[in-house]
Amino acid sequence: MSSFSHFPVMLEECMQGLQPTSGGIYFDGTLGGGGHSYEILRRSSPEGRLIATDLDDEAIAAATQKLSPFEGRFSIHKSNFKNFEEVLAEEGVDFLDGVMLDFGISSHQIDEPERGFSYMCADAPLDMRMDMTAPLTAEEVINEYPQKKLAEILKEYGEEKFASQIAANVVKARERSRIKTCGEFVKIIEESIPKKFQQNGPAARKSFQAVRIEVNGELSGLYEAVLGLTRRLKKGGRIAILTFHSLEDRIVKNAFRYLETDCICPKELPVCVCGKKKEIEVLTKKPVVAGPKEMVINSRSRSAKLRVAQKII
């Protein structure tokens, strides 16, 4: 096992969005290696408080060590950020000054072969679990899901044009023998996609993304979680969210749009009867992207989009 390494994406842009201050209470729902959390604690010194969640035991251990200079000012829960209601209740916190969410997977998770996240590690087992104690693995998805369901996942979560062909070939292959490694899955994907469509990056990227999302339930309840966490902000509090593919970004954008809307009554009604009030001001009319220098240093930042909103009521 390699040491846990993770380079926080768009760190300065996220901190400019959050603007942590001493005395504030902050929630980092995707702790990872602790890069964003460290800066939140540093910039909210001496009295800022951080509540963080993550599902990865290795990430939690690494982050606990990284944040040790701020002992007494942070608490970490092994939990999905979508369980924020229970976590905040346990901490005795009703409202927050800031929320940070980074939906990217860490460099460590990608680089650690036994985690099975990377299509570049041919002998790696098909795992892809953020929480290594969770029951569902990528191997189970690929070998046991019906062909139709597998095709739907590849198309919806991976936006894969050749989802049906890949799913059909997976079923044919697993009838001969169980598909157990990333390399076996990659070979099936590459054989399913015409060569002329394999010129724009690795052919397996979209399918691996799709299976990873399914294994970890990444999109399930995401819209509701963004609404709920934003509504836990104090007036003037901010939420900063980093997404890494269009599906996540669309969900965040739609949640922010709803929260920023003043009335949702049908236009034909003469007066508002819904009572909906504008709750936030979106501070990033267009998502912020990483600068050229960061894209060179940290390739993960190339697909990142940052959206920030401020609570106004």
Domain borders along the chain are 11-103+219-311, 116-216
Q: Is the pLDDT of residue 202 over 60?
A: yes
- The answer to whether the bond into 146 is cis (omega within 30° of 0) is no
Q: What is the pLDDT of residues 75-115, one digit of tens each?
A: 999 999 999 999 999 999 999 999 999 998 876 777 788 89
- pTM tops 0.75, yes or no: yes
Q: Is the pLDDT of residue 301 over 60?
A: yes
Answer whether CATH 1.10.580.10 is correct for domain 116-216. Answer: no
User: Would 11-103+219-311 and 116-216 be classified into the same CATH topology?
Assistant: no
For residue 4, name the pLDDT band (cuts at 50, 70, 90).
Answer: low
CB 179 within 8 A of CB 143: yes
Q: Which fold has domain 11-103+219-311?
A: Rossmann fold (3.40.50)
For residue 1, name the pLDDT band (cuts at 50, 70, 90).
Answer: very low
Q: Is the pLDDT of residue 132 over 90?
A: yes
Average pLDDT on 28-40 reads 96
Q: Is the pLDDT of residue 57 over 90?
A: yes
Average pLDDT on 230-251 reads 97
Q: Is the pLDDT of residue 199 over 90?
A: no
Model pLDDT, residue 163: 98
Average pLDDT on 289-309 reads 93
Mean pLDDT of all residues belonging to the chain? 94
Model pLDDT, residue 151: 98
Model pLDDT, residue 189: 97
Q: Is the pLDDT of residue 124 over 80?
A: yes
Model pLDDT, residue 146: 98
Sorted by sequence, the CB contacts under 8 Å of residue 241 that are 6+ apart come out as 101, 102, 103, 226, 252, 306, 307, 308
Model pLDDT, residue 2: 45
Model pLDDT, residue 3: 52
Q: Is the pLDDT of residue 241 over 80?
A: yes
Average pLDDT on 144-165 reads 97
Q: What is the pLDDT of residues 244-277, one digit of tens each?
A: 999 999 999 999 999 999 999 998 898 999 999 9
